[in-house]
C-alpha cells in the first residue's frame, strides 16, 4: 500500500472510531513486547496473580499480537469513557463505577464489530480480530505504545487530558497503517496518593500491583472465601474498587460519559439488607446485562457479609 493510501486508511479508521463514540484512538506497529514479557514473567513467578490461573495461559500470545492474528501489522487501541455522572449514597455497599451500567463487553464488542465491517467495506478485505478485555492482550501497554497515555503507579492507563476512567479495546489487523508515537513521559512524578490510599496495600513501588491483595480481585476474581486478613480493610467495597483512581489527581479532568448504556440502574440504591435478602430471580432480573453477573449472587452475598462487623 502506498504512503498516501496508508494515510487515507488511517484517517478513515480514526474518523469512524470517533463516530462510533470512542474517545481516543491510537495505532502501533504489531511487534513482540520484550519489556512486558520480562515484567509479566516476574509478576507471575511471584504469584501476584493469586488464583487468576488463566494469567499463566497463552504467555506467548500476550506478548506478541502476531500470534493472535497471523501476519499482524497494526494494533489499534481504543478508549471509551465510563466516568459516571451518578454517585452512590453514603453507607451503601460500594460498586465500582465501571459496573454502574450495562456490561462493557457487550457495548464495546458491538462498536468493534461495526468498525471491522467499516474497515472491510471501505479499505479492503483483511484479516483482523477485535478484543475487549477477554483475550490475552496487554491492553494498557498497547494504549501506551499508541500514545494514548502512560501507565501510572496503580497500573492504570492515564490520559493527561481525561484521566483513567476508560475501557480499553483493540483491533489487531494484518494491514500497515500510520503509527502514532508512544507516550514516553510519565506524569505521575513524585505523587504516591494511589499507593498511600490503597486499603489493602496492594500497590507496590515501581508500578507493581499485587493482584492477590487488590479489592477488585478479592470481590470479583476470587471464588473462595476472602482471607480473614482483609477483614475491616475493604473500605466498604462490595464489587471492585475505585480508590486508586478516585484519589488520582489526573482524574480531576474526568468528564461524565455520554454512553446511555453505562447509565446507572437500580443497583446503586441497594442496601446490605437488600443484598442479603435478594433471591436469584431478582438478581437475574436486575443484573441480566451487568458486569456484576461475573461474581453472581452467591459471590455478592459473600462480599456483603465480609463487610459486616464481626459479632
- Residues serving a catalytic function are 133
Quote the cell numbers at residue 234: 475493604
Q: Are 256 and 85 in contact (CB under 8 A)?
A: yes
Nearest to 237 by CA among 253, 223, 250, 226: 226
- DSSP tag of 266: G
Q: Which residue has the cell 476472602?
A: 226
Q: Furthest-apart CA pair in the chain: how many Å?
A: 72
Q: Are 201 and 213 in contact (CB under 8 A)?
A: yes
Report the sign of the C-alpha dihedral through residues 28, 11, 125, 79, in that order.
positive
Cβ neighbours of 89 (radius 10 Å) = 8
CA distance from start to end of the chain: 70
Q: Are 156 and 245 in contact (CB under 8 A)?
A: yes
Cβ contacts of residue 205 below 8 Å, gap of 6+? 153, 195
Give the Cα separation of 42 and 30 in Å (integer): 23
Amino acid at each position: 500500500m502506498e504512503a498516501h493510501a496508508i494515510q487515507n486508511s488511517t484517517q478513515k479508521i480514526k474518523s469512524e472510531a470517533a463516530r462510533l463514540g470512542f474517545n481516543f484512538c491510537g495505532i502501533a506497529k504489531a511487534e513482540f513486547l520484550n519489556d512486558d514479557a520480562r515484567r509479566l514473567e516476574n509478576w507471575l513467578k511471584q504469584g501476584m496473580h493469586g488464583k487468576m490461573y488463566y494469567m499463566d495461559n497463552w504467555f506467548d500470545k500476550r506478548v506478541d499480537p502476531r500470534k493472535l492474528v497471523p501476519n499482524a501489522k497494526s494494533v489499534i487501541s481504543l478508549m471509551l469513557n465510563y466516568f459516571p455522572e451518578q454517585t452512590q449514597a453514603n453507607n451503601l455497599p460500594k460498586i465500582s463505577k465501571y459496573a454502574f451500567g450495562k456490561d462493557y463487553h457487550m457495548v464495546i464488542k458491538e462498536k468493534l464489530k461495526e468498525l471491522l465491517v467499516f474497515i472491510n467495506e471501505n479499505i479492503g478485505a483483511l484479516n483482523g480480530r477485535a478484543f475487549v478485555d477477554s483475550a490475552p492482550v496487554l491492553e494498557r501497554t498497547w494504549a501506551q505504545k499508541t500514545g494514548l497515555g502512560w501507565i501510572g503507579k496503580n497500573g492504570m492507563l492515564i490520559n493527561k487530558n481525561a484521566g483513567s476512567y476508560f475501557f480499553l479495546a483493540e483491533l489487531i489487523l494484518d494491514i500497515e497503517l500510520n503509527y502514532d508515537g508512544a507516550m514516553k513521559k510519565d506524569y505521575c512524578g513524585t505523587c504516591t496518593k494511589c499507593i498511600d490510599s490503597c486499603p489493602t496495600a496492594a500497590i507496590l513501588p515501581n508500578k507493581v500491583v499485587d493482584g492477590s491483595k487488590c479489592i477488585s480481585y478479592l470481590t470479583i476474581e476470587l471464588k473462595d472465601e476472602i482471607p480473614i486478613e482483609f477483614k475491616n480493610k475493604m473500605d466498604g467495597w462490595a464489587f471492585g474498587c475505585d480508590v486508586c483512581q478516585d484519589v488520582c489527581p489526573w482524574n480531576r479532568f474526568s468528564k461524565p460519559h455520554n454512553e446511555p448504556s453505562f447509565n446507572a440502574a437500580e443497583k446503586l440504591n441497594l442496601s446490605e439488607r437488600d443484598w442479603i435478602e435478594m433471591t436469584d430471580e431478582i438478581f437475574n432480573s436486575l443484573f441480566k446485562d451487568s458486569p456484576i453477573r461475573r461474581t453472581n449472587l452467591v459471590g455478592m452475598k459473600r462480599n456483603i457479609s465480609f463487610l459486616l462487623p464481626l459479632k
